[in-house]
């Protein structure tokens, strides 16, 4: 037993030394909002507080959280921490820094005896919202705390395990929209009868009503965009929507892309004609274009804005493709909804 203990100490020391050599200097800082949230936590709870756990999940945020707050920083996905499970997507990640950050954070929590008592109520678990960006299911385990920071709320073990199962299923099937239907009330903002009213901003983009590609909604919108360099074309539906009391917009998506370089899908909520006032969100994940069905839920508070749009008076819902190099983009949309 003594030999094993000595070996554990040696391995831990070697890992810690290597971690400091490789990753001790933080990357460029995250957003100013994220840094302000870290500073808010430090101002309210001090540096290296053994009763506070801060949760982040990208390498830059992790290293800056260590610099700003010290103490117990968990690098990874929130629901794995709350369920005290090993996140093999982090442990086996192809990025060595992700693996090291995850192992390093788990090692510190284990050393301080936190993992065995994660549900004891002895720890305040905080998420800087601008750094973590929780999805719609993770939000079900959270509550606003202050300064843009979220805290983990009390949950029964049954509720937590149900949420964890829904979240892991959503990740494996790319369908967080389907999983979220058990937690939110969704309302369609585009019915089949209105699909023929969809139009495009350019002759390079064609739109048409198509059969459904899921079992959720009876019809879908099919879009083909011949994108040119550095110019976005949109498929749009005009109307009048009051989204002031809504928190999310969701839809099913299935698409393929014939393009190189940078490209992404943009969701735009128009507040005035001629693009003088609007909200927008860029979905930059290229895996969205793998030809498989994806159910997305986007948080409206994460949308950026131009000028001074008003969620209580949205006049158009638009989907567009921006491509640095141009290319052909073929995609279908179904079940465009909002939820609170």
Q: Lowest mean pLDDT of 3-17, 159-173, 176-190, name the range.
A: 3-17
pLDDT at 14: 44
Fold topology of 186-339? Jelly Rolls (2.60.120)
Give the chain's mean pLDDT.
Answer: 90
Give the helix, strand, coil percentages of the chain, each rounded to 5: 35, 35, 30
Angle between helices 2-23 and 96-111 (to 10 degrees): 130
Structure tokens at 132: 């973590």
Alpha carbons within 13 A on the beta-carbon side of 252: 24
Can you say whether the dihedral through the CA atoms of 129, 132, 136, 140 is positive or negative?
negative
Quick: pLDDT tens for 95-154. 999 999 999 999 999 999 999 899 888 999 999 999 999 999 999 999 999 999 999 999
Please list, residue by residue across 248-279, b when 16 or more beta carbons sit within 10 angstroms of its beta carbon and e when fewer do: bbbbbbbbebebeeebbbbbbbbbbeebebbb
Q: With the CA atoms of 129, 135, 139 and 145 taken in that order, what torsion angle do they form, in degrees rounded to the nearest 10?
A: 0
Alpha carbons within 13 A on the beta-carbon side of 11: 9
Chain position carrying tokens 């117990």: 72
Q: How confident is the model at residue 25 (pLDDT cuts 50, 70, 90)?
A: low
Residue 68 Cα distances to 49, 73, 98, 271, 279, angstroms? 12, 11, 20, 39, 32
Structural domain boundaries in the chain: 18-173, 186-339
pLDDT at 260: 84
Structure tokens at 153: 């709320």
pLDDT at 274: 79
């Amino acid at each position: 037993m003594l030999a094993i203990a000595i070996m554990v100490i040696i391995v831990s020391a070697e890992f810690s030394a290597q971690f400091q050599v490789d990753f001790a200097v933080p990357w460029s800082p995250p957003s100013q909002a994220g840094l302000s949230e870290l500073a808010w936590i430090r101002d309210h709870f001090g540096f290296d507080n053994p009763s506070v756990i801060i949760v982040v999940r990208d390498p830059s945020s992790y290293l800056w959280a260590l610099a700003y707050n010290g103490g117990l920083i968990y690098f990874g996905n929130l629901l794995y921490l709350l369920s005290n499970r090993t996140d093999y997507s982090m442990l086996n990640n192809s990025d060595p820094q992700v693996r090291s950050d995850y192992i390093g954070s788990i090692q510190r929590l284990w050393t301080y005896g936190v993992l065995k008592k994660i549900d004891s109520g002895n720890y305040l678990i905080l998420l800087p919202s601008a750094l973590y960006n929780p999805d719609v299911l993770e939000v079900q385990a959270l509550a606003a705390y202050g300064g843009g920071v979220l805290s983990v709320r009390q949950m029964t073990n049954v509720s937590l395990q149900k949420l964890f199962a829904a979240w892991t299923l959503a990740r494996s099937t790319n369908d967080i929209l389907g999983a979220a239907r058990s937690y939110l009330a969704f309302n369609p903002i585009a019915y089949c009868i209105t699909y023929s009213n969809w139009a495009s901003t350019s002759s390079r983009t064609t739109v048409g009503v198509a059969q459904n590609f899921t079992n959720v909604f009876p019809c879908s919108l099919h879009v083909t965009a011949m994108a040119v360099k550095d110019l976005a074309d949109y498929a749009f539906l005009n109307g009048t929507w009051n989204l002031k009391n809504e928190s999310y917009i969701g839809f099913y998506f299935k698409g393929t892309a014939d393009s190189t370089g940078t490209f992404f899908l943009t969701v735009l909520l128009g507040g005035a004609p001629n693009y003088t006032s609007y909200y927008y969100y860029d979905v930059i994940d290229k895996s969205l274009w793998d030809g498989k069905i994806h159910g997305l839920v986007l948080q409206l508070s994460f949308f950026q804005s131009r000028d001074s749009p008003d969620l209580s008076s949205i006049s158009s819902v638009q989907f567009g493709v921006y491509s640095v190099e141009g290319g052909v983009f073929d995609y279908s949309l179904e079940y465009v909804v909002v939820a609170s």
